[in-house]
Amino acid sequence: MTETFYEVMRRQGITRRSFMKYCSLTATALGLGPAFVPKIAHAMETKPRIPILWLHGLECTCCSESFIRSAHPLAKDVILSMVSLDYDDTIMAAAGHQAEAIIEETIEKYNGNYILAVEGNPPLNQDGMSCIIGGKPFLDQLTHAAEHCKAIISWGSCASYGCVQAAAPNPTQATPVHKVIHNKPIIKVPGCPPIAEVMTAVVTYILTFERMPELDRQGRPKMFYSQRIHDKCYRRPHFDAGQFVESWDDEAARKGYCLYKMGCKGPTTYNACSTIRWNEGTSFPIQAGHGCIGCSEDGFWDKGSWYARLTDIPQFGVEANADKVGATAAAVVGTATAAHIAASAVKRAMQKDAQPGSQKGDE
Amino acid sequence: MSTGQQTEHELYRSEPAVYVYEAPVRIWHWVNALCITVLCVTGYFIGSPLPTMPGEASDHFLMGYIRFAHFAAGYVLAIGFLYRILWAFLGNHHARQLFVVPITNLNWWKGVMHEAKWYAFLTKEPHKYVGHNPLALLFMHVMLVWGTVFMIFTGFALYGEGTGMGSWQFEWFSSWIIPLFGQSQDVHTWHHLIMWVIICFIIMHVYVAIREDIMSRQSMVSTMISGWRTFKDNRAVDDED
C-alpha cells in the first residue's frame, strides 16, 4: 500500500493540528460548509497517492528538464507530496538492476492502477535496437508497462508525434506511443518540451479529480491546447495592422512587430506559450524576438524552414513553397495557352486561305 | 466537309437559339467569378503580406481588412455554391449538367477524345453542343466543382481555428479536417496549392471560352451573359436530349 496524502504530510513534519487547519481552510476556499472539513480530512487520510512510472525512450530529456522547472505547482511538491513517482531513471536514486526491479514491483503491486508517463518513443527498425533499456529494446519495456497501466501520458512531441528522431527519413522508424499502444487511454502533451506548468497541471488534474482532463480529437488536454499561439499573442495587434518584421535587424524587429513574415508558426501552433509563458511566466520565444517554431505540432521538423511563412513542398527532390509551385504551374499553363492561341490563329489563317469562297458566305 | 452543300444550307439559315443558362445560373457564374478573384488576391496577400505599415498599430488595420475581405468573399462563395446546388434541382436540365458527369457513358468519353483532338489540331471540326462539351464538362467538374468543395472545406477549417472551439465552423470543419491533414500548417499549404489549381483553371477557362466563341460552332461568352446559345450552322447538335 502506498502512502496517503496525510501520511506524506506528516512525514514532512506537518502536525495534525496544521493538517486540520489546512482542511478547514481548503473547505472555506472552495466555498464549502464546516461539515466538509472532516470529509476533506478523511479523503486526505485515505486516498493513496497515485503511483507513476516515468519511462524514457528515444528522447533528449528536455521534457524532464522542463518538468523540474515547474513553479505552480513546484515540481518538488508534485513529486514528493502529490504523486508517488516510483520510477524515473533520470531523477531516481536507484540505478541498474535495482531500478529496473522497481518497474516489476509497481506493475505487480498496482496492476491496472498506475499512470504510465512516457517521455520519448520506441524505434521499430532493426528490432528496436536503436534504444536499449536494461539490455532489452525499449519497445518491450513500453508494451509490458502499458499492458497493466490505467492510462498513459505521452510527454512531449516525441511520445505524441515522433519529433526529431521521426523526421524524414526516420532511419530508426521512431514511432509515437499511440501507434504502438492501442488499448489504453492516452493523453498527449506535445511540445519540445511541453511547458512545465502544463505538465504538472496535467498530473495535478488527474490526481485531484481522479479522471483524465477533457481531450480534443488529437488527444491533447483542451485546457492547454485549444487555442493557437497566434490567438493570444501580445504582438497580434501588429499582425492585424499589417506591421511586420522584414529582417532580424530592422527597425520593426526592435519595435517588436509581428514575426509572421519571419516564419513564425504561431498561427498554426496549438499551445499555451502566449498565455502561460515559460520560466515562471517570464517570457516565451515570440517575446524574446524569435518566431514560434511550432514545436508542439505534428511533423514540425519536416515542414521546411522555421524562417519562412510558406511551407516547403518537396517535389522532384527540389524544395519550393506553394506559391513557387503554383506560379510555375500557372506560367506553364499561360505559356501553353499563348502557344495555343498562336497555333489557332495560324490554323484559322490557313483555313481562310484554303476556302476563300466558303468564308465569304460564312461571315 | 462539303463546301457546296453547306453554302446552300446557309443561304436559308435561320439560326436556332436555345435558352441554356437561366438567370440564377448566370448571376451565380459572375458572382462566383468575382468571389474567386477577390479570394485569390486577398489569399495571396494573407500568405505573403504587403510591406510593413509605418506608425502606430492602432492607426492601421490593413491585414484585418484583407482577411475580412477574404472571409466575406469566402462566405459569399460558399453560400453561392449551395445556392447553385439547389438550382441544379430547381432549374432546367442544363443546370444539372455541371454536377453530373456521365463517366459510364462510352459515347461521352468519345466526345472527350474528339474535343481533345480538336484542341490538339488533329481534327478539322469540333462537335456542336447545346450544353457543355464533354472535355469542358470534365475540366469544370473536376477543377471547379471539386476544387471549390475542397476550398470551402479547408477554408472553413482554417476560419474555424480563429472562431475557436465551440463555434459551428470549428465543430463542422476544423475539428476533423485539421487532424485529417495532420496539423494546421498542411491545411494552409493545400489551401494555397489548390488556389493555384483554380488559377490555372481560370486561365484555360477564359481562353477556351473566347476561342470557342470564335472558332467553334456555337456561342460561348455571350451565352453566359444573355443565357441564349446561338449556333453558326444548322446541322444537328451532338448532345441532343
- What domains, with CATH codes, occur in chain B? 30-50+64-230 (1.20.950.20)
**What pLDDT was estimated at residue A13?**
82
Nearest to B147 by CA among B185, B180, B194: B194
| Cα angle for residues A337, A339, A344 (degrees, 5° grid) | 90
**DSSP structure string for A108-136:** HHTTTTSEEEEESB-B-GGGGTTSEETTE
Residue of B61, B71, B139, B185 to mutate, testing the A interface (most A Cβ within 10 Å of its Cβ):
B185
Inter-chain CB pairs, A–B, below 8 Å: 142
Contact B182 A298 (CB under 8 A): yes
Residue A53 bridge partners (DSSP): A87, A116
Set of cell numbers at residue A88: 524515473
How many Å lie between the alpha carbon of A114 and the closest alpha carbon of chain B?
29
CB-CB: which of B57, B119, B186 is closest to A243?
Answer: B57
CB-CB: which of A228, A242, A321 is closest to B63?
Answer: A242
Which residues in chain B have Cβ-Cβ distances shorter than 8 Å to A337?
203-204, 207
Average pLDDT over chain A reads 87
Q: Quick one: pLDDT band at residue B4, thresholds 50, 70, 90?
A: very low
Q: What count of residues does chain B have?
A: 241
Which residues in chain A have Cβ-Cβ distances shorter than 8 Å to B51?
246
The pLDDT tens digits for B154-201 are 999 999 999 998 899 999 999 999 999 988 999 999 999 999 999 999
How many Å lie between the alpha carbon of B189 and the closest alpha carbon of chain A?
6
The pLDDT tens digits for A63-77 are 999 988 887 777 777
Q: How much is the average pLDDT of B216-235?
A: 87
| Lowest mean pLDDT across A169-183, A196-210, B217-231 | A196-210
**What pLDDT was estimated at residue A251?**
92
Q: Quick one: pLDDT band at residue A356, thresholds 50, 70, 90?
A: low
Average pLDDT over chain B reads 89
For the entire predicted model, the pTM comes to: 0.85
Which carries the bigger pLDDT value, residue A93 or residue A119?
A119
| Lowest mean pLDDT across A64-73, A288-297, B19-28, B177-186 | A64-73
Q: How much is the average pLDDT of B92-104?
A: 91
Number of alpha helices (DSSP H) and beta strands (DSSP E) in chain A: 15, 9
The ipTM estimated for the assembled molecules is 0.86
Output b/e per residue, A200-225; b: 16+ Cβ within 10 A: bbbbbbbbeeeebbebbebbbbeebb
Which residues in chain A have Cβ-Cβ distances shorter than 8 Å to B62?
241-242
Of chain A, the end-to-end C-alpha distance in Å amounts to: 101
Q: For residue A312, what is the nearest residue in chain B, using CA coordinates?
A: B189
Contact A357 B48 (CB under 8 A): no
Indicate whether B29 pLDDT > 50: yes
Rounded distance, CA B46 to CA B36, Å? 15
Indicate whether A1 pLDDT > 60: no
Query: CB of B15 within 8 A of CB of A362?
Result: no
Contact B186 A303 (CB under 8 A): yes
Rounded distance, CA A196 to CA B140, Å? 52
Collapse the DSSP code of A315 into the 3-class scheme (helix H, G, I; strand E, B; otherwise coil) and give the result.
strand
